[in-house]
Amino acid sequence: MPESAHLSLQRLGAPSTVVLGGVAVVGAQAAANMGCLTAGTPTISGTAQVTGSLTANVGTWTAGTTFQYQWLANGSPLTGATGARLPLNAAHAGKQISVRITGSNPGYVSATVLSGRTSTVFYPARTTPIDSWNCPSWAPIKGNIGDKENIYHMPGGRYYAATNPEECFRTEAAAKSAGYRRSKL
């Protein structure tokens, strides 16, 4: 039902209406005076990187609309990813993320719209440790911040297992770029 007709019929409070035309011409939702929901154009904000997060921005919809979210990776739904925000982890790396938003409003036909895709989710060059002894598997180089210099330890190195990292790096180049030097042992 066009919005102007939908609102006029609601304002009039008519006790009954007559619908002219068969079911091939007039759908059940139009006959029930259900309005057409104005759907916004969804966008995604945030940085598409592991350890980051993305936020769904719904755009402008008919006032009073409530929303349901479904995040997708490369077009496939992500299990349990149904909030307005999506924290990114290693499982999202190498994928493009989008969000499907369904808007509902009493008296209106629900509408579903899909955002565009993000750039491919990437790993950052450095990150925080996952606990006091371990770096994530995708950033295994342990960095120690010292009084005089910063040192990084490679997996398999002599002091690697005994090192409590303050930072973790994906590559040696990232550690060097951050001002760290390689452990001598």
In terms of pLDDT, which residue wins out, 31 or 105?
105
If asked whether residues 119 and 52 sit together in one domain, one would say yes
- Split into its structural domains, the chain has a count of 3
How many Cα atoms are found within 13 Å in the side-chain-facing hemisphere of 120? 5
Do 43 and 117 lie in a common domain?
A: yes
Same domain, 47 and 15: no
- Asked if residue 52 and residue 22 are part of one domain, the reply reads no
User: What is the rounded average pLDDT for all residues in the chain?
Assistant: 89
Report DSSP state, residue 80. Answer: T
- Per-residue pLDDT, 30: 59
- Domain shared by 22 and 57, yes or no: no
Distance CA 171, CA 182 (A): 12
Kindly state whether residues 118 and 41 are assigned to the same domain. yes
pLDDT at 28: 58
CATH number at 75 reads 2.60.40.2700
Would you say residue 24 has pLDDT above 90?
Answer: no
Range of the domain at 94: 37-123
Return the percentage of the chain with pLDDT > 70, whole number.
82
33-37, 65-69, 154-158: lowest mean pLDDT where? Answer: 33-37
Pull the structure tokens for residue 8. 């006029």
